[in-house]
């Protein structure tokens, strides 16, 4: 197993750790967490498809994101299996306040490439936070089978985060990308500070 404790700051770069109260409420609401998680995986796949459709002439985007679409959809299917194992059903999708707030922090306008980089960094940030939440679930939930499940997904999401960030650096100078990345990390931290700690949401 990789040492996620030692690598968190350098691999994920998140400015603010998840409120420790989150796991206390999340472990009491595993059904809601799994339902929300399923939709997170579905939206991750859809986001990659959208990027491929909107930037089909960019081979780097198509080549890098096509396998991620398949992997995210596979994760969606795996979360559905975990729901069924426990006698739960998918239920309706809920409003994703976290992602909506992040989207409002993106810069509007600019060139087509600049807009692409904004979207890649948004995806990188969501994957980084998901990875952090999966690590918390892996280390804290008593259900051993589900704990292992979240360990496996934690490793996968860390890889996706790196892919999105590295892709952004292919389209704009690394200096510019990292400056914008740091800005978004700070904005994400401020967003989390304003949000209620809820056990029925992955983010």
* Location of structure tokens 């780097």: 60
pLDDT of residue 57: 96
The answer to whether residue 3 is domain-embedded is no
Could you write out the three-class secondary structure of the chain? CCCHHHHHHHHHCCCCCCCCHHHHHHCCCHHHHHHHHHHHHHHHHHHHHHHHHHCCCCHHHHHHHHHHHHHHHHHHHHHHHHHHHCCCCCCCCCCCHHHHHHHHCCCCCCCHHHHHHHHHHHHHHHHHHHHHHHHHHHHHCCCHHHHHHHHHHHHHHHHHHHHHHHHHHHHCCHHHHHHHHHHHHHHHHHHHHHCCCCCCCCC
Distance between CA atoms of 138 and 149, rounded to whole angstroms?
8
Q: What would the two tokens of residue 1 be?
A: 């197993």
Q: Is residue 136 part of a domain?
A: yes
Within-domain flag for 56: yes
Using a 10 angstrom Cβ sphere, with 0-12 exposed, 13-18 middle and 19 or more buried, the burial of residue 142 is exposed
Looking at the 3D structure of the chain, how many domains does it have?
Answer: 1
The CA distance from 41 to 61, in Å, is: 19
Is 13 among the domain residues? no
130 touches 40 (CB < 8 A):
yes
Residue at 174 is within a domain: yes
The span from the CA of 177 to the CA of 197, in Å, is: 31
CATH number, domain of 180, equals: 1.20.1260.10
pTM of the model: 0.91
Q: Which pLDDT does position 173 carry in this prediction?
A: 97
Return the pLDDT at 25. 87
Instruction: Flag whether 203 is in a domain.
Output: no
Q: What pLDDT, on a 0 to 100 scale, did the predictor assign at position 3?
A: 42
* pLDDT confidence of residue 202: 87
Per-residue pLDDT of the chain (203 residues; tens, 9 = 90+): 334 443 444 346 899 999 989 998 888 899 999 999 999 999 999 999 999 999 999 999 999 999 999 999 999 999 999 999 999 999 988 888 999 999 999 999 999 999 999 999 999 999 999 999 999 999 999 999 999 999 999 888 778 989 999 999 999 999 999 999 999 999 999 999 999 888 788 88
| Residue 179 Cα to chain centre, angstroms | 20
Res 74: pLDDT: 95
Question: In terms of residue numbers, what domain contains 107?
Answer: 20-194
Is residue 28 within 8 Å of 85, Cβ to Cβ?
no
In a domain, 150, yes or no: yes
pLDDT at residue 4, as a whole number? 42
In a domain, 156, yes or no: yes
pLDDT for position 200: 80
pLDDT for 55 = 97
């Amino acid at each position: 197993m990789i040492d996620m404790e030692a690598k968190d700051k350098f691999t994920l770069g998140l400015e603010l750790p998840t409120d420790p109260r989150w796991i206390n409420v999340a472990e009491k609401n595993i059904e809601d967490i799994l339902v929300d998680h399923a939709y997170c995986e579905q939206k991750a796949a859809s986001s990659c498809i959208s990027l491929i459709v909107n930037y089909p002439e960019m081979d780097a985007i198509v080549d890098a994101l096509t396998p991620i679409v398949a992997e995210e959809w596979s994760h969606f299917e795996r979360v559905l299996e975990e729901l069924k194992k426990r006698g739960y059903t998918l239920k309706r999708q809920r409003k994703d306040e976290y992602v909506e707030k992040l989207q409002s922090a993106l810069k509007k306008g600019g060139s087509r490439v600049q807009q692409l980089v904004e979207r890649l960094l948004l995806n990188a940030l969501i994957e980084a936070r998901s990875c952090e939440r999966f690590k918390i679930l892996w280390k804290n939930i008593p259900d051993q089978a589900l704990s292992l499940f979240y360990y496996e997904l934690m490793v996968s999401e860390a890889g996706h985060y790196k892919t999105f960030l590295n892709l952004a650096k292919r389209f704009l100078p690394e200096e510019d990308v990292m400056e914008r990345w740091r800005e978004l990390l700070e904005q994400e931290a401020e967003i989390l500070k304003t949000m209620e700690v809820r056990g029925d949401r992955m983010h």
